[in-house]
Amino acid sequence: MDLSSEFLDAAKALLGDKGWRMDAESLEDVSTPWRGTYQGHTPFLALPGSTDQVAALVKLCGQHGVAMTPQGGNTGLVDAGTPHGEITLSMRRMQAVRAVDPINNSLVIEAGAPLVTAQTEAENANRLFPLSLGSEGTATIGGLISTNAGGVAVLRYGMMRDLILGLEVVLPSGEIWDGLSGLRKNNTGYDLKHVFAGAEGTLGIITAATLKLFPQVARVSAWVSCKSAEDVVNLLALTRDHAGDTVTSFEIIPANAIKMVQSEMPDVRDPNPSDLPWRVLCEVSMAREAHARDVMETALQAAFEADLAEDALIAETLTQAQSFWTIRESIPLCKRAYGTAVNHDVAVPVSKIPEFLEVTKKAICDLSPSAEIIAFGHVGDGNLHYSACEPMGAANPVLSNQASQITEIVHQHAMAFGGSISAEHGVGRLKRDELEAIRSPAATDAMKAIKHALDPNGIMNPNRVVRTD
């Protein structure tokens, strides 16, 4: 996009010296996503320092017909926050914590703050902000809301959408909507915050959010070895029978993922080596650690009696628990270093996971016998990160040529089992057309109508989620 000198002069003047960049390094940095699987480009990087500056810039963009891509940490995985010719509106300078209210259990924070800041602020107030995921040091509050991120504690606390009480948003018109209510009950019309959650920056720029806080809890983690995926889902049901909603996380890890992590991170030890194909990383959290430990022990005892678990290790210390979680959280990073990986983020009903895994693996291996399947993730939410991998330096590399066929297999199977082809990462440009082909036309029309009503000139992150050109 060619920017007029009139636009550039006005943008630079309203943003101030700290508020913009046009050097090649800065522009390339924001145009290169975390995985590096696609490359964007942008003519201008805006770094506003306040909501008023965001509003003034958006108004200016509207006047000049300049399209923008809002960006947080650029950790998104569906090509939504990487610019493709739009100017980039980075929120990274807006990280202030505006208020913490431990009595109301709420925290008001600016959208450019990384998730870890919200977690730390909550902890300092003897509260918990429960969202947790591998990118938490970089992913921002605005990005997490805009992708309705999930993570490892959805089972108990829900997704990001469930964790917001209010938002402040700059609309595509440049108007500011101050909806930073800390109220839990407020039935006064359409609940606008939910329009922006999961909208991937296509409907407005989130500048701040009021987040829900929770009481602090003590966590007890267990590393369990299982002989089949069927045992894993039955173990989930049994654990919940014993522990109810105190089951915070229930992650599935295949044995080959541990080997992959160790090949990239030689210092990582397998906590409890076993020849069995599956591990579960389960976490129970309660107000008192002794109670959580008691519940976990009882559940695991029942699992042994029901022959659902072969072996289990309950972490004795925080350090040991962290070593379990390091393996889980390192899988995406190690996969990137390991070799070619065709990645998917799918959901199927929990009860269908074993069959989904079996038939999908068979279909992929029929096509590509050397493919190594690494399926891991949030089994408690029915959400699997499903990858077909080929290690670096494989004798006959074929996978990159078969990527689209593999994706078709994985997505078709997910749909056939009543699932979703985007469980928690969103739509972006990556899945936009595929989703438009499979979702009901009524849903796509409604989405386009909302987009058009709020952004009639199509300047706000165009062509993500739904096609606007």
Ligand X SMILES: Cc1cc2nc3c(=O)[nH]c(=O)nc-3n(C[C@H](O)[C@H](O)[C@H](O)COP(=O)(O)OP(=O)(O)OC[C@H]3O[C@@H](n4cnc5c(N)ncnc54)[C@H](O)[C@@H]3O)c2cc1C
Residues making contact with ligand X (CB under 6 A): 34, 69-77, 80-81, 91, 111, 133-135, 139-140, 142-144, 146-147, 149-151, 200-201, 205-206, 332-333, 424-425, 461, 464
Minimum distance from CB of 145 to ligand X (Å)? 7
- Reading the block at residue 104, the tokens are 């109301």
Task: Give the residue with the Cβ less far from ligand X, 208 or 364.
Answer: 208
Shortest Å distance, C-beta 126 to ligand X: 26
Closest CA to 248 of 165, 376, 330, 130: 130
Residues 152, 154, 155, 157, CA torsion sign: positive
> Taking the complex as a whole, how short is the minimal distance between the CB of residue 17 and ligand X, in angstroms?
22
The percent of the chain in helix, strand and coil, each rounded to the nearest 5, is 40, 25, 35
**Least distance in angstroms from the C-beta of 304 to ligand X:** 30
Minimal CA–CA distance to 129: which of 112, 151, 147?
Answer: 151
Burial 434-452 (b: 16+ CB within 10 A, else e): ebbeeeeeeebeebeeebe
Nearer CB in complex with ligand X: 67/128: 67
* Cβ contacts of 170 within 8 Å, gap of 6 or more: 51, 54, 55, 58, 176, 177, 204, 205, 207
- Quickly list H helices, 147-228: 154-157, 193-196
Find the shortest distance in angstroms from Cβ 362 to ligand X.
27
> 402 phi and psi, to 5 degrees?
-105, 10
Residue 367 Cβ, how far from ligand X at the closest point, in Å?
A: 27
Backbone angles phi, psi at 135, to 5 degrees: -100, 20
> Which of 408, 335, 424, 318 shows the shortest CA–CA distance to 373?
335
DSSP three-state, residue 84: strand
Residue 137 in contact with residue 116, Cβ under 8 Å?
yes
Q: What is the 3-state secondary structure (H, E, C) of 220-287?
A: EEEEEEECCHHHHHHHHHHHHHHHHHHEEEEEEEEHHHHHHHHHHCCCCCCCCCCCCCEEEEEEEEEC
**Closer residue to ligand X (CB): 56 or 149:** 149
Is the Cβ of residue 206 or residue 296 nearer to ligand X in the bound state?
Answer: 206
Between 407 and 422, name the residue whose CB sits nearer to ligand X.
Answer: 422
Three-state SS at 310? coil
Length of the chain: 469
14 phi/psi in degrees, rounded to 5: -80, -25
CB of 322 to ligand X, least distance (A): 16
State the minimum distance, in angstroms, from the CB of residue 175 to ligand X: 15
- Partners of 169 in the beta sheet? 177, 206
Q: How far is the CB of 204 from ligand X (least distance, A)?
A: 7
In this complex, which beta carbon is closest to ligand X, that of residue 74 or of residue 248? Answer: 74
What does DSSP say about strands 87-90 and 45-46: parallel, antiparallel, or unpaired? parallel
CB closer to ligand X, 299 vs 423 = 423
Our CB check for ligand X shows the closer of 73 and 419 to be 73
Q: Which residues are CB-neighbours of 300 under 8 A, at least 6 positions away?
A: 222, 224, 309, 312, 314
User: What is the smallest separation between the CB atom of 274 and ligand X, expressed in angstroms?
Assistant: 25
- Minimum distance, C-beta of residue 176 to ligand X, in the bound complex (Å): 13
CB closer to ligand X, 402 vs 461: 461
User: Could you tell me the smallest distance in angstroms from the CB atom of residue 4 to ligand X?
Assistant: 24
Count CB-CB contacts under 10 A for residue 267: 6
Tokens of 399: 């996978």
CB nearer ligand X, residue 60 or residue 205 = 205
Beta carbon nearer to ligand X, 172 or 300: 172
